[in-house]
Amino acid sequence: MTQTGPNPRLKLAATAGYFYAYILTGMIVASLGPSLPTFAANTLTPLKDIGVIFSAYFLGRMTGAMLLGRFYDRVPGHRLLSATLFSLAVIALIVPHLRSLYLLIALLYLFGTACGSLDVGGNTLLVWTHGSRSAPYVNALHLFFGLGAFSMPLLIAWSLQSGGRIQTAYQIIAVLLLAASLWFLRLPSPARARPAESGGAPRVNPAWIALLVLFMILSTGIEATFGGWIYTYAIQSQISSPAAAAWFNSAFWIAMTAGRLIAIGLSTRVRPAAVISADILGCILSVSVFLLWPASPAAAWAGTILLGLSMASLFPTGILFTEERVKITGSVTGWIFIGDSLGGVFLPWIAGQLMGIFSPQAILPALLVDLLLAAAVFALMLRSKKAPSRISP
pLDDT tens string 193-243: 654 443 444 455 788 888 888 998 888 788 878 877 777 778 777 787 766
- 193 or 247: whose pLDDT is higher? 247
Nearest to 57 by CA among 236, 235, 225: 225
Helices (H), 71-166: 77-94, 101-130, 135-163
Cβ distance 86 to 178 under 8 Å? yes
- 253 or 31: whose pLDDT is higher? 31
Q: Any idea which fold 3-192+200-382 has?
A: Growth Hormone; Chain: A; (1.20.1250)
CA distance 190 to 130: 9
Q: What are phi and psi of 252, to 5 degrees?
A: -60, -45
Domains of the chain: which residue ranges?
A: 3-192+200-382
pTM of the model: 0.70
Q: What is the pLDDT of residues 110-123, one digit of tens each?
A: 999 999 889 888 88
